[in-house]
Amino acid sequence: MRRNHLLQLLADNRRTFTPIAQRIQRAADGSEATVYLYDPIMDGRDMAEWYGGVCPQDFVPEFRALDVGTINLRIKCGGGDVFAAEAMAQAIRDSKANVIAHIDGLCASAATNLACACSEVVISAQSEYMVHEAWTIALGNKRDMRKVADLLQQVDDTTIVDYVRRTGQTSATVTAWVEAETWFTAQGAIDAGFADRMAVGNDKTAADQPGAAAAWNLRAYGRAAAGRAWDAPAPTPEPAPPAQPPAPPAHASADHRHRQAQRINTALRLASIA
């Protein structure tokens, strides 16, 4: 049986939760703002807190409230929930600001939806850009599975239209890229039309940004490019199931009960699509 890619991607990259408000920096003169998207894209706040990600419930209001001429969206993201990404991308499209995406090392999967929504995409020389087919988790009978397959096809079709619009490539070309899980170098992303230009000397690099040291583990993807700091390690055998945790103390703290509730909600909501 194949690994559950979505769960693996999230589990491998779980990190400390940082509210999106702390990922926004405003210029002293109020002319522009910088937003850092360096975390997994999650479909709700409970999952964002558990996995250390960002969700539209937090991102969208903060982004829409930015009353500036230019927004620099700095991306170092391996992906996440595609519907959450679309909500965030729509906030970008609706913005009156000139929104410029800066790819600081990695823009993969659902993160590409956000990059495509920006007016310009600038990519650093050592970055990678990845497109692939949608994934999901599903339970049910054969009719349920067919419905899920149809939904995945609809998601892919919509994404391909977005990529065609962004790149100017044919639908057949983009479809082939998506179905193959294609990794582009920085120059390759520019040649394909996903990025507009290479970052130059006065563009800040990923090393200058908060949270830049947090590496992405990409072993969940089948064709992660080799030789990058955030690259996947060699495949390892499936780990043994974890031992059952001990029963909570009789007088569990409020924080403990909150975390237990998060675990339950996470298990119930992991039918998202990435």
Where along the chain do its domains lie?
5-235
Residues 6+ apart with CB under 8 A from 165: 116
Q: Rounded to the nearest 5°, which phi and psi values hold at 15?
A: -150, 175
pTM greater than the 0.75 cutoff: no
Measure the CA–CA gap between 77 and 36, rounded to whole angstroms.
10
Q: If you classify domain 5-235 with CATH, what class do you get?
A: alpha beta
Name 122's bridge partners.
102, 197
Q: Which helix (H) or strand (E) holds 87?
A: helix 82-94
Do residues 137 and 6 touch, judged by C-beta distance below 8 A? yes
Sign, CA dihedral 154-114-138-271, equals negative
Name 170's bridge partners.
none
pLDDT given at position 146:
95
Identify the segments of the chain with pLDDT beneath 70.
1-15, 201-274
Do residues 4 and 137 touch, judged by C-beta distance below 8 A? yes
Q: Which amino acid is at 213?
A: A
